[in-house]
């Protein structure tokens, strides 16, 4: 069932469950991204969301950006134990040592990925699925591609990148257009994807 927004147009049902979801849904979710910093930020935030709600993470996103130096992975990769202690004392973020250490680890792996693949975008967009192979919108929490991407990231040493986390990342960053068929934003995302040239392809 669609959520009818204040403009009287239908949206994906989930974006009606919190006021901050609508602008995120209409301007970010599903639109294709090839910016390495944004890709790194999102996969880290999806890791922090594990076991929590996206609303919690979204409401703390600016705090996360400040705490993790704008998610510049070249800077985060150099974080030391004193930075971990600083983050564990930062009430504006999720103070989970394992997730904080995973973010630092993943920043180091991201630097390696840029050296080996040219960019994070070039790596991630290799896993864009054929739209015809996908399940109906929002009917699945994983896909064959998210399982494969998860396995490959783990093989490269990334952490907190399970198949469900990775699929949510793919939905948000536009590798998958998972807007409902009657959602007014789906058409805008489809148009954006048509104009988008995936890196490395």
Could you give the residue numbers annotated as active site?
A: 24, 46, 54
* Closest CA relative to residue 38, chosen from 59, 64, 11, 77: 64
| Nearest-10 crossing angle of helices 97-117, 36-49 | 150
- Judged on CB neighbours under 10 Å (0-12, 13-18, 19+), 178 is buried
Helix spans in 50-143 (H) = 54-59, 61-67, 73-76, 81-88, 97-117, 120-124
DSSP, res 110: H
Say if CB 162 and CB 150 are below 8 A apart: yes
What is the Cα–Cα distance from 40 to 120, expressed in whole angstroms? Answer: 8
């Amino acid at each position: 069932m669609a959520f009818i927004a204040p403009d009287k147009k239908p949206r994906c049902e989930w974006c009606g469950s919190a006021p901050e979801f609508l602008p995120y849904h209409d301007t970010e979710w599903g639109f294709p991204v090839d910016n390495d910093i944004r890709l790194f930020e999102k996969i880290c935030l999806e890791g922090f969301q594990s076991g929590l709600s996206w609303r919690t993470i979204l409401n703390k996103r600016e705090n996360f950006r400040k705490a993790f130096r704008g998610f510049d992975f070249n800077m985060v990769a150099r974080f030391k134990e004193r930075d971990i202690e600083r983050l564990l004392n930062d009430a504006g973020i999720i103070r989970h040592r394992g997730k904080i250490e995973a973010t630092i680890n993943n920043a180091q792996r991201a630097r390696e990925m840029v050296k080996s693949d040219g960019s994070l975008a070039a790596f991630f967009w290799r896993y864009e699925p054929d739209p015809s192979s996908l399940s109906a919108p929002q009917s699945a929490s994983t896909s064959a591609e998210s399982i494969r991407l998860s396995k490959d990231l783990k093989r490269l040493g990334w952490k907190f990148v399970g198949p469900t986390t990775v699929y949510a990342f793919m939905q948000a960053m536009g590798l998958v257009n998972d807007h409902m068929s009657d959602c007014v934003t789906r058409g805008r995302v489809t148009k954006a994807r048509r104009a988008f040239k995936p890196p490395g392809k």
